[in-house]
């Protein structure tokens, strides 16, 4: 199977998993959840049970949007690096920050985002994801070169 096909399949599975977790948190029947998501119940059943081979990634993303899930998709150099992650919920306006510096940084970030065009926001988003990916790789390299005491004893 070509790597691009495996990557899309991994993304489908992960998005379906996030939707399944969402519907479980609702605590309602699959039929009620399907109605809420404007989706046929058999399709939701496929998603919840991980049977996504015949579902498009676009359909799954549309369902995630209807559910209000803020999903980040990640690809990589190999299919195993692909994944779909739900972003943390947005902080409430009355959230207190641990320091004045953090509060000023958050305010500056919000103001900067308002001044960016949609294309600039997308560019910044991609740059952020690239930097985050590089940090993860550095962390992995450090973990491999300096195993923790607990893992050395195995």
Q: DSSP string of 18-85?
A: HHHHHHHHHTS-HHHHHHHTT--HHHHHHHHTT--TTS-HHHHHHHHHHTT--EEEE--SSGGG-EEE
Q: What does pTM read for this prediction?
A: 0.57
Tens digits of residue pLDDT in 100-151: 666 677 777 777 777 877 777 777 777 777 777 777 778 777 777 776 554 4
pLDDT at position 145 is: 76
Name all contacts of 122-130 with Cβ < 8 Å and 24+ positions apart: 129/72, 129/74
**Contact (Cβ atoms closer than 8 angstroms) between residue 52 and residue 16:** yes
- Domain boundaries defined on the chain: 1-90, 93-154
Please name the helix (run of DSSP H) or strand (run of DSSP E) that holds residue 79, with its range, or none.
Answer: none
**Contact (Cβ atoms closer than 8 angstroms) between residue 7 and residue 75:** yes
Tens digits of residue pLDDT in 57-77: 999 999 999 999 988 888 888
Whether the per-residue pLDDT at 153 is higher than 70: the answer is: no
* Domain 1-90 belongs in CATH node 1.10.260.40: yes
């Amino acid at each position: 199977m070509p790597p691009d096909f495996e990557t899309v399949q991994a993304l489908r599975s992960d998005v379906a998993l996030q939707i399944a977790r969402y519907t479980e948190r609702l605590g309602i029947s699959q039929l009620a959840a399907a109605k809420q998501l404007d989706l046929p119940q058999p399709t939701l059943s496929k998603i919840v049970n991980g049977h996504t081979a015949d579902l498009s990634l676009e359909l799954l993303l549309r369902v995630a949007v209807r559910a209000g899930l803020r999903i980040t998709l990640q690809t990589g150099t190999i299919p195993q690096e692909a994944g779909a992650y739900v972003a943390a919920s947005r902080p409430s306006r009355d959230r207190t920050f641990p320091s004045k510096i953090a509060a000023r940084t958050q305010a500056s970030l919000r103001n900067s985002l308002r001044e960016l065009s949609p294309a600039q926001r997308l560019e910044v988003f991609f740059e952020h994801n690239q930097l985050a990916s590089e940090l993860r790789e550095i962390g992995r390299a450090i973990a491999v070169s300096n195993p923790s005491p607990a893992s050395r004893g195995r």
